[in-house]
Amino acid sequence: MNDFTIKQSFILADELATIAMGNQLADIVKNELKQGVVVFLNGDLGAGKTTLTRGFVQGMGHIGHVKSPTYTLVEPYDLPEWQVYHFDLYRLADAEELEYMGIRDYFNNSSCSFIEWPEKGQGMLPAPDIIIDLAYHDEQRQILLHAKTALGERLLSRLVK
């Protein structure tokens, strides 16, 4: 059991609500935490992991498309004050491959990582600040956010619907 007990849960009515949630996470990181976070994203295909990440990446200041890095494993966004990394490890055959990608260099105070299918990178990823579970809820989605570090707790405590 850990000491970080904050959990938040919301119903996301549609794609725009999922994007808005990603935008809000970005606003809190940029304006209040002022340091990078590591986020693990769990949920079935189509649950909204990439959509949420798109909201975050655009909220951090990226203008333009956010494509799913299913085949490239990671899509980097080099923004003026931040690096944002969107990982999708679905097709990763062996976590060791991440070592060859130089994954250790990806994580620092001014980088944010949103990681889909983190279990595929087990042993090679830093501990997450928050874990997000996305699930189908009829035509909508449910999002559950759990804080795993003090930083994650600060992030979630500022989150409002």
Q: Does 49 bind ligand ADP (CB under 6 A)?
A: yes
Q: Does 66 bind ligand ADP (CB under 6 A)?
A: no
Q: Could you give the 3-state DSSP secondary structure of residue 125?
A: coil
Q: CA-CA distances (angstroms) from residue 153 to 2, 4, 101?
A: 12, 7, 30
CB of 64 or CB of 80, closer to Mg ion: 64
Specify the stretch interacting with ligand ADP by CB under 6 A; choose among 1-9, 49-57, 98-106, 121-129: 49-57
Q: Does 50 bind Mg ion (CB under 5 A)?
A: yes
Q: Does 140 bind ligand ADP (CB under 6 A)?
A: yes
Q: Does 18 bind Mg ion (CB under 5 A)?
A: no
Q: Mask 74-113, x = binds ligand ADP (CB under 6 A)? A: ----------------------------------------
* Residue in the block written with tokens 């996301």: 12
Structure tokens at 82: 């931040």
Instruction: Give the CA angle between residues 63, 65, 70 to the nearest 5°.
Output: 135
Residue 103: DSSP 8-state: G
Structure tokens at 128: 């997450």
Q: CA-CA distances (angstroms) from residue 148 to 7, 24, 75?
A: 10, 19, 24
Specify the stretch interacting with ligand ADP by CB under 6 A; choose among 22-30, 103-111, 134-142, 148-156: 134-142
